[in-house]
């Protein structure tokens, strides 16, 4: 039954533009992946902040894949802009502020060398930059609606940041109570539409409920807000976008790494070949030859799969990557997926990198960020 629901979820999700921002901390990825000029990466793109962030390490090749063409087209645009828009100010205007006075003219030359369908996509969707890219998509729409209901803004966030973490929860308690007590918010948060808006399928929803010992998604959301409130709120770009619709433009590190000046400078001279594939991870891995990639960056796709499919995919990745290939994956669970699916003879978890990454991940959406290495 859950698998049937997830087939319907996947078929719907891939038609919808949900995310303008990757809800994963790509600063953590850059720290743990250990890429160099020989690395060849297969990476699930989501909204593409992570894929664009890999360019600064100058890997030999990146193959970005996603089943959702909206997300993959945005990833292709982020990569092309990081490599070709020479002025950091203009690059930041487009993808940091998410606005541009003349997006149609600016996007057109960036389409050279990208798949034709990406060019067609942006020739009809460039208007997203006339308003604010980060208020667009299903996630952006939910966040705008929530902001209107709750009424928080940048001044509130700055004031909250100045409080010691323990006092922040006291300050937030009445706001959490009003969110939990709001019938419209509670109703929306517990619907499948909300799951689409946060990119959580039914399999991952169950994992979330178990991991948080929660009865409803509303409880999960409340637990996450509390964890988020303890982070460095000045630079936590996920909190800023959710509560204000903008990054904190006053702080150069309050944006995904690919947008920062130093990363952009390195991306402009990256020798990396990049391919974009509208395909499932399972299909790409099944069709690949041994040795095709050395690094696999999976986002939280494993969480969307039932146990048998997780095992099958991890076996396939080990076949393609071979000994010492590296796999980066996020899960809402604390459990080690490799142990859970019985593949601890094939993979080892890289420590302390995995535990440090899990602690540093500032979305606070995941129980673990794990780096695995193929051992046989
Ligand atoms: C798993 S989703 C979850 C949300 C994610 N944490 C984020 O911030 O984008 C991330 C991306 O994976 C894509 N995806 C999901 N299952 C996939 C699969 N089997 N193969 C390729 N891409 C997949 C989705 O289309 C989405 O763009």
- Is residue 125 domain-resident? no
Q: Of 306, 308, 304, nearest to 10 (Cα)?
A: 304
Ligand 1 centroid to Cα of residue 74, in Å, is: 13
301 in contact with ligand 1, CB cutoff 6 A? yes
Tell me how far apart the terminal alpha carbons of the chain are, to the nearest angstrom: 36
Q: Per the structure block, which two tokens stand in for 166?
A: 């323990």
- Is residue 309 domain-resident? no
- Rounded CA-CA distance 21/44 in Å is 14
- Is residue 217 domain-resident? yes
Checking 103-107 for CB contacts under 8 A at 24+ apart, the result is 103/127, 103/128, 103/129, 103/130, 107/77
71 in contact with ligand 1, CB cutoff 6 A? yes
Ligand 1 centroid to Cα of residue 358, in Å, is: 19
Q: Whose CA is nearest to atom 4 of ligand 1?
A: 199
Q: Whose CA is nearest to atom 1 of ligand 1?
A: 301
Q: Whose CA is nearest to atom 20 of ligand 1?
A: 280
pLDDT in tens, 96-130: 999 999 999 999 999 999 999 999 999 999 999 99
Residue of higher predicted confidence among 5 and 291: 291
pLDDT of residue 191 exceeding 90, the answer is: no
Q: Give the pLDDT mean for 13-38.
A: 96
Q: Return mean pLDDT, the chain.
A: 94
Q: How far is CA 251 from CA 21, 90, 98, 280, 352, in A?
A: 18, 17, 16, 37, 29
R_g over Cα of the chain: 20
pLDDT of residue 369 exceeding 70, the answer is: yes
Q: Which atom of ligand 1 is nearest to the CA of 280?
A: 20
Q: Give the pLDDT mean for 297-308.
A: 97
- Is residue 156 domain-resident? yes
- Least confidently predicted of 22-26, 32-36, 208-212, 323-327: 208-212
68 in contact with ligand 1, CB cutoff 6 A? yes
| Strand-pair partners of 41 | 62, 295
* φ/ψ of residue 232, rounded to 5: -70, 100
- Is residue 178 domain-resident? yes
Q: What is the pLDDT of residue 232?
A: 93
Q: Per the structure block, which two tokens stand in for 102?
A: 């003349």
Q: Which helix (H) or strand (E) holds 362?
A: none
Ligand 1 centroid to Cα of residue 281, in Å, is: 9
128 in contact with ligand 1, CB cutoff 6 A? no
pLDDT of residue 273 exceeding 80, the answer is: yes
Q: Which atom of ligand 1 is nearest to the CA of 68?
A: 25
21 in contact with ligand 1, CB cutoff 6 A? no
Ligand 1 centroid to Cα of residue 280, in Å, is: 9
Q: Is 176 helix (H, G, I), strand (E, B) or coil?
A: helix
pLDDT of residue 2 exceeding 80, the answer is: no
Range of the domain at 199: 137-244
24 in contact with ligand 1, CB cutoff 6 A? yes
- Is residue 159 domain-resident? yes
**CA trace torsion 39, 44, 49, 52 (10° rounding):** 30
| Mutation choice for ligand 1 from 74, 199, 237, 296, CB with most ligand atoms inside 8 A | 199
256 in contact with ligand 1, CB cutoff 6 A? no
Q: What is the pLDDT of residue 182?
A: 87
- Rounded CA-CA distance 15/10 in Å is 9
pLDDT of residue 376 exceeding 80, the answer is: no
Give the E-state strand segments of the chain in sequence order: 40-44, 61-66, 273-278, 295-297, 326-331, 347-349, 368-374
Q: What is the pLDDT of residue 187?
A: 86
Q: What is the DSSP letter of 205?
A: H
Quickly state the pLDDT bin for 301 (edges 50, 70, 90): very high
- Is residue 19 domain-resident? no
Ligand 1 centroid to Cα of residue 275, in Å, is: 17
- Is residue 292 domain-resident? no
- Rounded CA-CA distance 138/210 in Å is 26
Quickly state the pLDDT bin for 274 (edges 50, 70, 90): very high
240 in contact with ligand 1, CB cutoff 6 A? no
Q: Which helix (H) or strand (E) holds 18?
A: none
pLDDT in tens, 27-58: 999 999 999 999 999 999 999 999 999 999 99
Contact in structure between 197 and 139 (CB atoms under 8 Å): yes
Q: How far is CA 270 from CA 56, 97, 280, 290, 328, in A?
A: 7, 24, 27, 26, 22
46 in contact with ligand 1, CB cutoff 6 A? yes
Q: Which atom of ligand 1 is nearest to the CA of 19?
A: 9
Q: How many domains does the chain have?
A: 1
Contact in structure between 207 and 333 (CB atoms under 8 Å): yes
Ligand 1 centroid to Cα of residue 215, in Å, is: 25
Ligand 1 centroid to Cα of residue 230, in Å, is: 27
């Amino acid at each position: 039954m859950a698998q049937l629901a997830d087939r319907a979820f996947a078929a719907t999700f891939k038609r919808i533009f949900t995310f303008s921002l990757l809800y994963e901390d790509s600063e953590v990825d850059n720290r743990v992946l250990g890429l160099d000029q020989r690395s060849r990466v297969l990476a699930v793109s989501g909204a593409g902040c992570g894929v664009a962030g890999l360019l600064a390490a100058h890997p030999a090749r990146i193959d970005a894949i996603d089943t959702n063409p909206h997300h993959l087209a945005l990833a292709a645009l982020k990569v092309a802009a990081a490599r070709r828009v020479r002025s950091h100010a203009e690059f930041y205007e487009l993808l940091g502020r998410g606005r541009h006075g003349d997006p149609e003219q600016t996007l057109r030359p960036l389409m050279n060398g990208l798949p034709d369908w990406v060019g067609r996509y942006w020739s009809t969707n460039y208007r997203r930059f006339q308003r604010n890219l980060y208020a667009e998509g299903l996630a952006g729409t939910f966040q705008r609606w929530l902001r209107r209901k709750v009424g928080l803004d940048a001044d509130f966030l700055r004031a909250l940041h100045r409080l010691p973490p323990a006092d922040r929860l006291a300050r937030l308690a009445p706001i959490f109570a009003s969110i939990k007590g709001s019938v419209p918010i509670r109703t929306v948060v517990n619907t499948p539409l909300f799951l689409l808006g946060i990119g959580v399928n039914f399999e991952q929803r169950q994992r979330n409920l178990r991991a948080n010992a929660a009865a409803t998604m509303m409880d999960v959301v409340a637990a996450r807000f509390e964890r988020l409130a303890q982070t460095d709120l000045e630079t936590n770009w996920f909190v800023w976008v959710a509560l204000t619709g903008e990054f904190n433009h006053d702080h150069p590190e309050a944006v995904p790494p690919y947008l920062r000046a130093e990363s952009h400078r390195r991306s402009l001279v990256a020798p990396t070949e990049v391919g974009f594939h509208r395909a499932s991870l399972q299909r790409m891995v099944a069709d690949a030859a041994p040795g095709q990639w050395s690094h696999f960056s999976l986002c939280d796709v494993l969480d969307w799969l039932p146990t048998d499919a997780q095992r099958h995919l991890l076996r396939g990745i080990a076949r393609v990557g071979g000994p010492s290939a590296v796999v980066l994956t996020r899960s809402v669970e604390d459990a080690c997926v490799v142990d859970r699916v019985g593949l601890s003879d094939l993979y080892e978890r890289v420590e302390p990198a995995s535990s440090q990454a899990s602690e540093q991940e500032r979305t606070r959406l995941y129980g673990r960020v794990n780096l695995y290495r193929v051992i046989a």
